[in-house]
Structure 1
Amino acid sequence: MSKKIKQLARQLGDGWKLRRRLRQASALNFAFSERIDFLNGQHWDQLAARHGLLMSRDYWRALERSGLAHFEVRYALAYRDGEPVAAVAMQLLEVSLETMHAHPGPRPEGSLRAALAQNLKPKLRQRLLVCGNMLSYGLDGAAFAADLDPQTRWQAVAEILYRIRRAEKLNGQIDFVLVKDMDETAREDSRALGKLSYSTLETEPNMVLPLAEDWRVYDDYLAGMTSKYRSAIRQQIFKPVEAAGCEIGVMTPEQVDAQAERMQALYLAVQDNATLRPVTVSADYWRRMAALGPERAELRGLWRNGALLGFLLVLKDGAEVTAAQIGFDRAAAKELPLYLRLLHTAIESALAAGGRRVIFGRTALEPKARMGCRPVPTSLWIRHRQPVLNSLIRSSFGIVQHEDAPTINPFKK
C-alpha cells in the first residue's frame, strides 16, 4: 500500500472516530428551562455577560412576554464538574410558506425561497428549532466558558438541540434545526456540526458600518465622505424629509405605549413586502423593548404634523449598535425617502452612545453599501429530522444563490 493511500485511510479512520465520538453523549450535565427565570441567573450571567444585550436575561425575558405568535423559547445551561460552561438560548417556531412570505408569487430559480419551497408544503406547518435569534443578526444564542474547546462546545450545543427535539415530541415533531448566524470565524469554530449531519448554508451578507474613532457626531460621519456621497445624502434624503415638515427623535415610553398599535401597522406594512418573514413581532414587543431602557434600546420615530410616519428600533450593546426592526408608511414613502432617513438615524444613535459599529442586517445591500457598510459573509447550519430529507436539503440548499453586496467606498481615501 502506497504512502498516500495509507495517509488517506488514516484520515478517513480519524474522521470516522471523531464522528462516532461526537454522536455519543458528552460528559457534561445539563439544565433545561422554558423560562429564563427558571434557570440559575448567576450562572447564565457568568457566561453571557461578555455577549451583551442579546444574550441577557432581560432581553430574552422581554421576548417571552411579548406575545409573539407561533413562537416559544427554550434555554439550557451545560455544566462540567459542577461549573457552568455553556449557555444556549433557543426559539421554537411554526412556519410555512404562507407565514414566511405574504405574497406567493414566482420564486426565482436558485433563491432561498425556491429551496424552501422544495421542502415546505404551502399549507403544512413545519416546526423549527433555532439556536439563536431570528430577530437579530449574529450568533446570539450561545455563550461559552473561555476555556471550553470548540469541539466540546459545539458537541454540547448539538446535544442540547437533540434533547430539546426529543422532548418536544410531546408537542409535535420538530422538522428543522438551525444554528445561526455564523461569520467566518464562528463557522470555522463550529465545524464539528458538519460531522453531525448539519449542512452549512451561506446567506446574504450582514451589512456592517464601522465608525471611525474620531467621529463623535453625525456631521463627523458626513465629513468623512467624498462630496459626491455627502451631497447625495443631504439633497436626496435629508432635504426632502425636512421640506415636508418631518421631525425625527427618540420616542418616550409613553409615546411608545400610545403608538404601539400604529407602530405595529407600520411594521406589518414593511413585513408584508419582505422576502422571508419567519417571525412577526407583536404590538406589545415595542413596549417591551422600550422598557429595556434608553441605554439599551431606543425607538426613533419620524413624525409629520403629529402623525407617526415611521420608526426604527435601535439596540445598543456597548461598541455595537443594531438597527433592528423598522416600520414606515408605504404611501408616504412613495413621496419621501423614509426608509433611508430612518437608517441614518441609527448612525446618529450609535455615535451619541459611543458605538463603534452599526449592524444593518441582510437587506437593501446597495443602499447600505452607499452609506459605507461593509458586507460580512454570514452562514448558518441546518438539519432536518429525517435522514432522507436531510440529504435532499443538502443538495437543494447547496445551490441556493444570494445577492452579493456591491463594492462601494463612499469615504475619503
Structure 2
Amino acid sequence: MNPAFTFKIYTSASNLPSNWDHLAVNNIFLTSNYLKVLEASAPENIACHFIGLFNNEDLVGLALSQFINLSHVSSFGERDHCLKTEVRNFVFKNFCSNVLVIGNNTLTGQNAFCFDEILPVQEGLLLLNKAAKEIQNQFFKKGLNIHLTVFKDFSASDIQHFKIPEFKSFFLFSTQPNMIFEIKEKWQLFDDYIGDLSKKYRDQYKRARKKAEGISKRKLSLEEIRNYNDRIHELYMDVAKNAPFNTFYLPENHFEIFKKHLHDKFLFYGYFIDGELIGFNTLIKNGTDIDTYFLGYDEKCQREKMLYLNMLYDMIGYSVNKGYKRIIFARTALEIKSSVGAKPVKMFGLIKHSNGVLNLFMSKLFGFFEPEMNWQERNPFK
C-alpha cells in the first residue's frame, strides 16, 4: 500500500472536513448534510462512524460505517412464531449480535463509499479494511467484541474489486435483489407508462385505482408530520413488525428530522380516509434517481384498498412526470414491485466472523439466518 494513503475516523458528522461534499456530490447519501440527519435520527441500536481517506493531506475518499447492536432487536420479526425463529434469535443474539457494517444498513445499494480518481479502488478498499479493524479495536477497548464485519450492497462489477488477499477470509454472499425501475425516455407522462402496460396489467392498474376510491392523498409539511407523529410511528411499526427480518426499528421522530433537514429532497405522502391517516410513503431525491424510503399502513385498509400497489403507482407517476431516470425500489415485496415494472438487480456483500472457527462455517451460518424468499418475476409491459 502506498504510505501516502491514510485514513481518519470521525465519530460525529459535525467534524467532517469542510471539503467532504466535493467528493460526495453525486450521492446525497454520502453528503455531510444527510450524514448529520442519519446520525440524529438513527435507531437506538445503530451508531455511525465516518471515514475520511487521505493522500497526504488531501481528502481522496470517504465512507460510512455503522455499528449495529442486535441484542435488543427481535431480528426475525413477530410474524413467524416457531422453534426455528426462536433458535435463530438465540444464536444471533449470542454469537452474531455486534455487527460492523461498511455501508448504510437503512438503504439498499452502494452507499458505502466513494473515491476520487487519484485513489485506486483496491487501495481504497485496503484502507477501509484497516479502518474497519481500527473501529473494531475502539469497541473492544469499550468492552464490546465485534462479531461480524460486513461490506454490503455491491453490484456484480463492483464486487470484483474485492478479489484481493486481504478479503480472502470474507464470505461472499448475495441476498434479495435491489428492485430497480428504469424510466424509459419515451415516457414523458405517467399516461405513457400506463399505455405501455399489457392488457392484464392495465386491468390491474384500473382495479387498484377503483379500490382506492375514498382515499385522499397529499404531501405533508414538516408541521403536519410533527402533528401526526404518533400515528405515523404506529403505521410504520405495523409494517416493520411483520417483516421477516429486522436489524433495527426507526425512532419516533425519524421522519420529522428528515423533513426538517432535507427539506424538499425528502417527500412524505399521507393517505387518508375521512380525515384519518391510514398510510404513508416517503421518497428521497438523489440526482436523477428517486429512492423509495420507509412506509407504513393500516393492514386492514391495505387489503381492502390495495393501498400498497396504489402507492407504487403513485411513486412511478411522480417520478415519470418529474423527469427522473430511475426509481430505487429496494428490497422486500419483490413480486408486486416486479408487477409494476421493476427489475431485480443482484447485489453482493462480504461478511466475516471475528471467531476464526465460526468463520469457517460462515456459509452454513449465513444460509441458516437468511430468510427463504420464493417469488416469480413478472413482465407487465407489452
Contact (CA 8 Å) 1:201, 1:381: kept in 2 or not?
yes
Over 3 Å counting, the alpha-carbon distance change for 1:271 and 1:345 in structure 2 is same
Task: Say which of 82, 95, 103 aligns to 1:106.
Answer: 82
Provide the C-alpha distance between the structure 1 equivalents of 2:31 and 2:180, rounded to a whole number of angstroms.
22
Pairing partner for 2:148 from 176, 182, 190:
176
Read off the aligned partner of 1:48 and give its amino acid letter.
A
Matched, 1:381 2:350: yes
Do the aligned partners of residues 217 and 34 (structure 1) sit closer, same or farther apart at CA in structure 2, a change above 3 Å counting?
A: same
Does the 8 Å CA contact 2:154/2:348 hold for their aligned counterparts? Answer: yes
- The letter for the 2-side match of 1:225 is L
Q: 1:45 is matched with which residue?
A: 21
Q: Letter of the 1:187 partner, please give it.
A: I
Which position in structure 2 is the counterpart of 1:17?
none
| Structure 1 Cα separation of the partners of residues 113 and 193 of structure 2 | 33
Distance change (3 Å), C-alpha of 1:215 and 1:292: farther
Query: Does structure 2 conserve the Cα–Cα contact (< 8 Å) formed by 1:137 and 1:206?
Result: yes
Give 1:74's aligned residue. Answer: 49
What secondary structure does 2:305 align onto? Answer: coil
Output the TM-score relative to the length of structure 1.
0.85
* 1:227 counterpart = 2:199: yes
- The alpha carbon displacement at 1:317 in A equals 0.8
Partner of 2:185: 213
CA RMSD of aligned residues (A): 2.4
Distance in 2 (CA, whole Å) between partners of 1:312 and 1:401 is 25
Q: Which amino acid aligns with 1:411?
A: F
Percent identity reads: 23
CA–CA separation in structure 2 for the residues paired with 1:193 and 1:232 = 51
Shift of 1:82: 2.1
Cα distance in 2 between the residues matched to 1:63 and 1:27: 31
For these two proteins, the number of residue pairs brought into alignment is 379
More off after superposition, 78-87 vs 344-353: 344-353
In the alignment, residue 161 of structure 2 is paired with which amino acid? D
Alignment partners' CA distance in 1, 2:154 and 2:307: 31
Give the greater-gyration-radius structure (CA).
1
Among candidates 60, 75, 78, match of residue 35 of structure 2: 60
Deviates more, 1:401-410 or 1:285-294: 401-410
Structure 1 unaligned blocks of 5 or more: 1-20
CA-CA distance at 1:184 after TM superposition: 0.9
Alignment-derived partner of residue 118 in structure 2 = 147
Matched residue type, 1:71: I
Runs of 4+ aligned residues of structure 1 deviating over 4 Å after TM superposition are 113-119, 398-402
Partners of 2:296 and 2:75 in 1: how far apart?
18
Query: Which among 163, 174, 190 is matched to residue 202 of structure 1?
Result: 174
What is the CA–CA distance in structure 2 between the aligned matches of 1:102 and 1:118, rounded to whole Å?
13
For residues 223 and 292 of structure 1, the distance between their equivalents in structure 2, rounded to whole angstroms, comes to 38
Q: CA deviation at 1:407?
A: 3.4
Distance in 1 (alpha carbons) for counterparts of 2:30 and 2:167: 27
Partners of 1:275 and 1:336 in 2: CA distance: 23
Q: Does 1:367 align with 2:339?
A: no
Cα distance change on mapping 1:149 and 1:405 into 2, 3 Å? farther
Cα distance change of structure 1 residues 262 and 401 upon mapping to structure 2, 3 Å threshold:
closer
TM-score, structure 2 as length reference: 0.92
Identify the match of residue 129 of structure 2 among 158, 165, 186. 158
Report the Cα offset of residue 170 of structure 1. Answer: 2.6
Structure 1: distance between partners of 2:334 and 2:189: 24
Contact persistence 2:215–2:272 (CA under 8 A): yes
1:7 match: none
| 1:88 lines up with 2:63 in the alignment | yes
Contact 1:384 1:390 in 2 (8 A): yes
Q: Quick one: structure 1 residues 218 and 292, their matched pair in 2 at CA, closer, same or farther if it must change by over 3 Å?
A: farther
